[in-house]
Chains A and B, each alone.
Chain A
Amino acid sequence: GAGVSQSPSNKVTEKGKDVELRCDPISGHTALYWYRQSLGQGLEFLIYFQGNSAPDKSGLPSDRFSAERTGGSVSTLTIQRTQQEDSAVYLCASSLEFASGGANTQYFGPGTRLTVL
């Protein structure tokens, strides 16, 4: 079946502009996760959704970042007034459900490479 898809695959924007990144999880997966992969800094957890709710938003790096999920499926990550330090690959993952201990395997999308000029 189809895996996690993300769009766009690449986004180049100017500093100060807003961007929206989209994630389409695997059908039937109720949990959805956003990560950021910066050059030389590994993977950084941003936020997760169980259904449409995000219990913990503390991983978002600043108040310019927000995420929503509607209908328990597609999620969008929005970055307002982008800065050069926002340049990274943004990864989305989904799992059947959010299980304490993380026993549910996360399946990753190909990522969106964001470049802020």
Chain B
Amino acid sequence: GDSVTQMEGPVTLSEEAFLTINCTYTATGYPSLFWYVQYPGEGLQLLLKATKADDKGSNKGFEATYRKETTSFHLEKGSVQVSDSAVYFCALSVNDMRFGAGTRLTVKP
């Protein structure tokens, strides 16, 4: 069935470091791909999305490119901030939404 596998955490980085959180997917159809973020004490928020191959989603300095050839949607940010500390979920949707297990990111000053 459709599924998402994302990099296990936790991930701890220093401020201004480069971030990559890997995400790969398995889908029978043509999924849309998403990254959601959950800040401490808050609900899930959409961070970015891509609906077809080669699309790049971007928001708040984060980017992810829909790679059909590698079935991947890795999340990247060039320079993380303390305020980026959160749990990040990769997700795909063909008919329903399937989420990865989440990756906890902690950014230290």
Residues of chain A touching chain B, judged by Cβ–Cβ distance below 8 Å, are: 33, 35, 41-45, 48, 56, 59, 91, 93, 100-103, 105-111
Q: What bracket does the count of chain B residues touching chain A fall in?
A: 20 to 34
The verdict on B46 contacting chain A, using a C-beta distance below 8 Å, is yes
The verdict on B95 contacting chain A, using a C-beta distance below 8 Å, is yes
**Once the chains bind, are A42 and B89 in contact (CB under 8 Å)?**
yes
A43-B89, A101-B30, A101-B32 as given contacts; A56 in contact with B94, CB under 8 Å:
no
Ordered by A's residue number, 23 sampled pairs between the chains whose C-beta atoms are within 8 Å are: A33-B96, A35-B99, A42-B100, A42-B101, A43-B89, A45-B97, A56-B95, A56-B96, A91-B43, A91-B44, A101-B31, A101-B32, A101-B93, A102-B92, A102-B94, A102-B95, A102-B96, A103-B32, A103-B51, A105-B49, A107-B46, A108-B43, A111-B43
Who on chain B is nearest to A110 by CB?
A: B43
The digit string for B77-105, where 1 denotes a CB below 8 A from any CB of A, is 00000000000010111111111111000
Q: Which residues of A contact B96 (CB under 8 A)?
A: 33, 45, 48, 56, 59, 102
B36 to chain A, nearest CB (A): 8
Residues of chain B touching chain A, judged by Cβ–Cβ distance below 8 Å, are: 29-32, 34, 36, 42-46, 49, 51, 89, 91-102
Q: Say which residue of B42, B51, B89, B99 sits within 8 Å of A101 (CB atoms).
A: B51
